[in-house]
């Protein structure tokens, strides 16, 4: 295969994401850039609410095993029961102020959890892994 040399100016944020990916995969940056050009750039996370962006950005730096752990993670039955209980109390109008605050916190944690699982799956797919859909 014939190769060509190209000098290219790219935004620092894109460069850093490619460097982080190369580091996580223990691959040369050149190889990661060629892969990105072949299949597209690493998945974006900047279209999610700002409060979750740092969490998703951190996933770019993780190795594949760490991403798989996130993809396979689940909430416990107790956590889900409490969340569902508070949702029912909220929908029936019988929720206390303390429970309302707890529900807001749990909803935020659930949103973060799901977004991180989804982003980890997308990153693994981008890195060439088959990630089955649930």
Range of the domain at 71: 47-134
Cβ atoms 112, 55 nearer than 8 A = yes
* Residue 4, in any domain of the structure: no
Considering the domain architecture, whether residues 52 and 113 belong to the same structural domain is answered as yes
Q: What percent of the chain has pLDDT over 90?
A: 75
**Residue 97's pLDDT band (cuts 50, 70, 90):** very high
Question: Token pair of 42, please?
Answer: 């690493």
Considering the domain architecture, whether residues 33 and 56 belong to the same structural domain is answered as no
**pLDDT of res. 42:** 67
Q: Which of 56, 45, 43 is nearest to 112 (CA)?
A: 56
Least confident of 47-51, 97-101, 120-124: 47-51
* Residue 97, in any domain of the structure: yes
Q: Write down the pTM of the prediction.
A: 0.74
* Residue 33, in any domain of the structure: yes
Considering the domain architecture, whether residues 55 and 119 belong to the same structural domain is answered as yes
**pLDDT of res. 115:** 94
**pLDDT of res. 37:** 82
Q: E-strand spans in the chain? A: none
Tens of pLDDT, residue by residue over 47-60, are: 889 999 999 999 99
Mean pLDDT of all residues in 62-89 = 96
Per the structure, the count of domains in the chain is 2
Q: Give the C-alpha separation, 79 to 106, whole Å.
A: 9
**pLDDT of res. 38:** 77
């Amino acid at each position: 295969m014939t190769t060509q040399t190209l000098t290219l100016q790219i935004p620092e944020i894109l460069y850093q994401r490619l460097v982080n990916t190369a580091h996580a995969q223990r691959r040369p940056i050149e190889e990661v850039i060629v892969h990105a050009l072949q299949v597209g750039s690493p998945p974006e996370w900047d279209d999610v609410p700002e409060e979750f962006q740092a969490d998703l950005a951190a996933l770019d730096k993780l190795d594949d095993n760490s991403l798989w752990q996130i993809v396979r993670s689940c909430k416990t039955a107790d956590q889900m029961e409490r969340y569902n209980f508070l949702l029912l109390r909220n929908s029936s109008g019988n929720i206390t102020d303390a429970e309302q605050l707890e529900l807001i916190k749990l909803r935020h944690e659930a949103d973060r959890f799901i977004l991180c699982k989804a982003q980890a799956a997308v990153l693994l797919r981008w890195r060439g892994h088959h990630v089955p859909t649930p």
